[in-house]
Amino acid sequence: MNDSTELATRQAQTGLVNRERDKAAKQIARIAPAVDVFEDNRGITLYADLPGVPREKLDVRVQDGSLSIEAEAVIPTPSGLRLQHGEVRHPHFWRVFTLSPDFDASRIDAQLRDGVLKLSIPRRDEAKPRRIQVKAE
């Protein structure tokens, strides 16, 4: 399982904020979520940290052997308060992994709980390790 991550950073600006530039930065600024991957005989389990992401803003896809996770966090602004400084105004998470053909992408189980995405990716039956019985003659 290989991963390719992309992390875009904003350059510091002086003076007034340019709205068009801010809008463009919002569209391209991506954060690679922290990921833990565990493997056993049955398959792999992937945990991705996605704080503030509701299920409606989460997109998990498998296409052409690639598993992609894309999500947008929703950070509410308390009423009566004004943002004075914000380094990540619209957190957008993105990460892509290459899946081995040993895994069955059609049976992936995905669960989102308390800001953590859990993906269970089983091995194909023919790719699971099996014990060969040896006969003595």
Query: How much of the chain exceeds pLDDT 90, in percent?
Result: 48
Q: Is the pLDDT of residue 67 over 90?
A: yes
The answer to whether residue 20 is domain-embedded is no
- Structure letter (DSSP) for residue 104: -
The pLDDT value recorded for residue 18 is 53
The answer to whether residue 81 is domain-embedded is no
CA angle, residues 27, 31, 32, in degrees to nearest 5: 135
The answer to whether residue 109 is domain-embedded is yes
Instruction: Return the percent helix, strand and coil in the chain, to nearest 5.
Output: 15, 35, 50
Mean pLDDT of 51-65: 94
Q: What is the CATH number of the domain that holds 70?
A: 2.60.40.790
Query: How much of the chain exceeds pLDDT 70, in percent?
Result: 77
CB 43 within 8 A of CB 129: no
Handedness of CA 27, 108, 66, 47 (dihedral sign): positive
Q: What whole-number distance in Å separates Cα of residue 97 and Cα of residue 56?
A: 22
The answer to whether residue 106 is domain-embedded is yes
Q: In which domain, by residue range, is 56 found? A: 1-7+35-75+90-128
The answer to whether residue 119 is domain-embedded is yes
The answer to whether residue 105 is domain-embedded is yes
Each residue's pLDDT tens digit, 26-47: 555 788 999 999 999 899 999 9
- Count up the domains in the chain and report the number: 1
Q: For residue 91, how many other CB atoms are within 10 A of its CB?
A: 19
The answer to whether residue 84 is domain-embedded is no
The answer to whether residue 117 is domain-embedded is yes
DSSP 5-53: -----PPP--SS--HHHHHHHHHH--BPPPEEEEE-SSEEEEEEE-TT-
